[in-house]
Amino acid sequence: MPSPGPGSRRGSRSEPGSCARRRASSCSCATVGAVRSRRLSQPLAAVALRSLLAVDLWLSRRLGLCAGEDSALGGVRPLLKLLELSAQRAAWVSSAAYLLLTSGSPQQQETGLNLLMALLLDFVLVKVVKAFVHYHGSEMFVTFRPHPRYSFPSGHAMRAAMCARFLNARLLLDAPARALLLVWVIVMGLSQVLLGQHNISGVTVALVLGYWQYSLVESCWLPIDWLQDVAMTIPGDSLVTQKE
């Protein structure tokens, strides 16, 4: 019988390189299959939420037309930054303190006192929500902070919504003034997106929280008598301590 030639011996053996390639391809197929199965096993609500957040991030970046001086509407950026000052916490705290300390009417003093309490609540609520969102490192919350400029929620939008509802409820404004307040809140929220500082979701949630925040302030409304009782109690306690 003729002995097999060298070519047949080479063909009967598998080359090491082909084995390695087959093993690599099988591993890659297994990895892709595992990823696909993991995606399919996720709840539909989580997949939908991630899709919405991705759309929110994409659309927010597209609307950041004033994010920088070289942006499409970079020339409007100084005007929007000037508008942003109208919702600064320091300006509202100063106005509320001035109203509380200089007004001779108990009603105006009561308004200034509760406005100060509302601004304090606004400060705490913004810090708590931002810390909560920043604390979670899951994919669900990562899109809220794609860049250090993008924070969640918008403190300016929340404060604008709360202060606008406060003024609308306590100052008995006429129709043009109410319309002006509404325009101010809308433009304030839109400016935060145009400046590239917040996503659309961050501004929307901030407006809702600011509107709800006044409801909480109204349910815990402090009368001016409470402040007078506190002011009378502190000196009284100090006098009793000095006598003892």
- Catalytic machinery residues: 156, 198
Contacts of residue 57, defined as CB under 8 A and 6 or more positions apart, other chains included, come to: 143, 146, 199
Distance, CA of 39 to CA of 34 (rounded, Å): 9
Cβ neighbours, 10 Å, residue 204: 17
Under DSSP, is residue 37 helix (H, G, I), strand (E, B) or coil?
A: helix
Under 8 Å between Cβ of 155 and 126: yes
Distance, CA of 222 to CA of 130 (rounded, Å): 28
Contacts of residue 31, defined as CB under 8 A and 6 or more positions apart, other chains included, come to: none
Under 8 Å between Cβ of 203 and 154: yes
Distance, CA of 50 to CA of 198 (rounded, Å): 18
Distance, CA of 52 to CA of 34 (rounded, Å): 24
